[in-house]
Structure 1
C-alpha cells in the first residue's frame, strides 16, 4: 500500500517527537536514567509527588524520564491519550484484561488469539472469570456470542495464525451498545499500519519485542488507552503488579522506533513478494496473508490497514506433522524459532505432533507453517522456500 501524509507524520513521531533535546543539553539520543530513586528538596515535596506518582518521578516502578519519552511517542503513533510500557507483552495484556473484569465476568475471544493470551484467560477461571471463543470474523456471529455477563471483547486483527481481518468499527459499535470494553492486540500491524483507537477500540496492546523493537534484543509490552482507563490502571495493575519496563529496555525500544517506518516498508515489500511466490506453488494449499488480493478480507484491509507486515502462514497440501517437519527442517535462511517481527526471518508451526485434533477445533490446518519474513534479500528467502518445498 502507498503511505500518505499520515505516514509522514508518524515518521516524524518515531524520529523526533518528545525527544526534548533542550532538556538534555542538545543530546541527539536522550540519556538512560538508570536510577531507581528520585530525591526531593523537602519532605512535603516528596509526599505531594507520591500522591500523584503518575505525574512525578518518585521510584523506578512508576515513572522514568527515558521510559516516558517512549510512551509519549507510542501514544502519539496510536492516536491514543496515554501509554504505559511493561516488562513484556503478556504483562501489558494481563494488565488490560485484569483491569477490565471482576469475578463473575465473561471475556469473549474473537477467533484465533495468541496462545499465552488464551492460557491467561484459562488461569483467570480460578477467580471466576470465564471466557469463550467465537471462531468467526462475522460481526453478526460475534454479536450472537455475547453473554449477559460479557465485559470484554478481546481480539487480534489479523487473527493469530489464520490472519483474517475483523471490522474494528463494527465490533467497537457493537461493544459500546452492550456496555462492553474492547481490547486489541495490534502487534502484527504496528501503529504505522493500523490505528484501532480512531475506530473506537478502547485499549490497544503490543508486544514491543516484535516490530517495535525490531532487533530481537528487547523484551517489553505496550498498552495505550484513554486518560480515564489509564487512571485506574496505573494505580492498580501497573504499580501494584510491578511489571515496569526498565530504562535500559526503553532506550533500546526508542532506538527501534527510529527505524520502524523504514523497516516496516521493507518487511512489507519482502512479504508481498514471498506471498505471491507461495500462492502459485503446487505444494501450498493456501497462503494466509491480507496483502494478497485473493485474501477473503482484502477489501476490508484496504479500508483499515495502510500497510502489511511480514508475518504470514501457509497451509501445505500435505497437511500433517511429517509434511510440516520436512519443510521446516530443509529451510536454512529461515531460522527455526519462536517470536517474530525482527530483522531475521523465522519459521515455526503450531503442529506439535500430538495436537492435530486441537488445531482442527481451532479452525487451524495441521499443515500450517508460520513464516516471519525478515529483512534479508527476498530472492534468498524465495530460493530457500523453493528448496524446502521440493520433493
Structure 2
C-alpha cells in the first residue's frame, strides 16, 4: 500500500455512510441534534468528543483533519480559518503573563506583530535571534522561556534552523517548539519526526493550491490539540468552515503531482535567472550556491516553487519597471496556487529610502506555478529588456 496515496484518497472517508459518493459531502450544518439528554450532557462536558456545533467539530472538517495529521505524522490536527489564526492559537495557548519566547528573526508578518504588539500587553516578551546557529538559541533561553518559534525555511531569504538540534535543546529545558512549515508542506519536510512539538502551515498555499481558500493547519499531540480546541479555537471562533474544508480535501488530491510539476519548472527558471546579466543573486534552498544547502538537503526532500532574486539595480525605478512589465506573472502576495507570482521588497519601502547598497531592497520574491517554464522565461525576458 502506498501510504501517501491512501492518506490523500481514502483516509477518513467512509463512503458507505454517504451514498457511496466518491467525493465526500459538505456537511453544511451549524448544529447537530440529540435524542437523549444524557448524550447531550456528555458533549457539553467534552465537545472534542463528537459533533455539537460546527464552530467546533464537523464531519467534513474531520476528514481533512485526519489526512493532515497523517501527512505530518502527528497524532491530531486542528484547522483554522487562516494561517495567522493557527499561529496565534499555538502560541497563545502556551504562554502566561511574564513568560518569554525565543523566535527566529523576521518571522511571518502576523507572527511578528503578535510578538511585538499583542503579547507585550500581557507581559510576554520575545527575543529574536539568527536561527542558523544552535548557540544563538542556547544563549537566548531564559528561565521563563516557554516557546521556541521556528520558521524553516522562512519566506524571503529562506534561512533554515537545525530542527533536530533545536528540538533536543528545547526538550532538555521543557520548552515547547513550534515550526511554521508553510514553505515545504508535509510532503517535503517532517518537523514532527525531527522532534518538533507543533507544526503549522498556511493551507492557503500548496494544500489548497488554487488561490480560492484561506486556511491554517496546526498539528501535534492529541492532548495539545484538545487543549487548544477547548480554549483558543472555541473561544475565538476561528475554525474553518465545512465548505473551505471540502476545498482543501480537493486540493490534497493533486498535491503530489502539483508539487512535482512546480519543482521541475522552478529548477529550469532558477537556472535561467542565475545566468541573467541583470540578476545579482538567486536565493533558493536547493541550489548549491545556497549557504545552508547541505542543511536543506538533510532536512527537506524538496523545495517547491518559491525563491528570491536580488536584482542588479541602481535605482528603484528599474525594479518597479521590471515588475510592472510582467505580462503573465502576477504581482501579488502568497504562493502555492496555479498562477506564478512576483512581489518586490521595495513595495514596502518609500522611494526616497531606497538604498542600492542594501541587498534586501533589491529583492523580488518569485513563485513558479503550473504554467510552462518556457512561457514564464519569455515573460521574464521581455520584462528585463524594458528595465535596462
Partner of 1:290: 285
**Conserved 8 A contact 1:348-1:371:** yes
Partner of 1:380: 375
SS in structure 1 opposite 2:280?
A: strand
**Conserved 8 A contact 1:214-1:343:** yes
In 1, Cα distance between equivalents of 2:163 and 2:58: 33
SS in structure 2 opposite 1:22?
A: helix
- How far did 1:229 drift? 1.2
**Conserved 8 A contact 1:90-1:116:** yes
Q: Deviations over 1:29-77 (max 9, x none)?
A: 1111001110011111111122121121000111000000000000000
- How far did 1:146 drift? 2.2
Q: 1:261 to 1:353 in 2, by over 3 A?
A: same
Where in structure 1 do 4 or more consecutive aligned residues deviate above 3 Å? Answer: 355-360
Partner of 2:275: 280
Matches within 5 A, 1:206-245: 206-245=201-240
Measured on the aligned residues, the alpha-carbon RMSD in Å equals: 1.9
SS in structure 1 opposite 2:111?
A: helix
- How far did 1:111 drift? 3.3
In 2, Cα distance between equivalents of 1:359 and 1:70: 46
In 2, Cα distance between equivalents of 1:221 and 1:364: 31
Q: Which 5+ residue runs of structure 1 have no aligned equivalent?
A: none
In 2, Cα distance between equivalents of 1:359 and 1:156: 27
Matches within 5 A, 1:130-149: 130-149=125-144
Partner of 1:344: 339
Q: Deviations over 1:214-268 (max 9, x none)?
A: 0011111111011221121111011111101000100111100111111111111
SS in structure 2 opposite 1:204?
A: strand
- The count of aligned residue pairs is 383
Partner of 1:23: 17
Matches within 5 A, 1:68-147: 68-122=62-116, 123-147=118-142
Q: 1:186 to 1:93 in 2, by over 3 A?
A: same
Q: Deviations over 1:127-180 (max 9, x none)?
A: 111112113411122322223322111111112200122211011111112221
Q: Deviations over 1:159-213 (max 9, x none)?
A: 2200122211011111112221111111110010011001000111111111100
**Conserved 8 A contact 1:356-1:366:** no
Q: 1:350 to 1:148 in 2, by over 3 A?
A: farther
Task: Find the partner of 1:353 among 349, 360, 373.
Answer: 349
In 2, Cα distance between equivalents of 1:288 and 1:31: 42
Q: 1:109 to 1:275 in 2, by over 3 A?
A: same
- How far did 1:25 drift? 2.2
- How far did 1:359 drift? 10
**Conserved 8 A contact 2:354-2:361:** no
In 2, Cα distance between equivalents of 1:355 and 1:205: 35
Partner of 1:389: 384
SS in structure 2 opposite 1:54?
A: coil
Structure 2 length-normalised TM: 0.94
Task: Find the partner of 2:155 among 160, 163, 166.
Answer: 160
Q: Deviations over 1:295-342 (max 9, x none)?
A: 122221222111121111111121653332122111112101111110
